[in-house]
Amino acid sequence: MVQEISVAEAMQRVAAGSRLIDVREQDEWVAGHAPEASFLPMSSLQDRWTEVDADDADPAIIVCHSGRRSAQVADALERSGVPAVSLAGGMVAWHGAGGAVVVVDGAMPDADGEPDSDR
């Protein structure tokens, strides 16, 4: 089973230089992402997984909306020999804990860090 880490731990690791990888899709990324995150959509993972540079001492931190996809991706990476952990609660938890969120193209995230329903 893949390791999940809390938002507090993820923020500490990212501040210390760990890689944060957002595996949501383009519309989710544009609506709001952590400024330190790299964008690697889950739909592209099969072709791009070698772009994840991590080691046992500093596994990649995988984030999605709520933690389900990031757990799947972290598990797949681990099975491929790439150390990875999943951010428990995803961007919902990140945003809820006061984590910085970058919005692209004037999209406005709602309270859970996702695009407003009228978008």
> What are the catalytic residues?
64
Cα angle 22-26-29, degrees, rounded to a multiple of 5:
45
Q: How many residues does the chain have?
A: 119
Rounded distance between C-alpha atoms, residue 117 and residue 21, angstroms: 25
C-beta of residue 71 within 8 angstroms of C-beta of residue 4: yes
Spacing of C-alpha 110 from chain mean position: 18
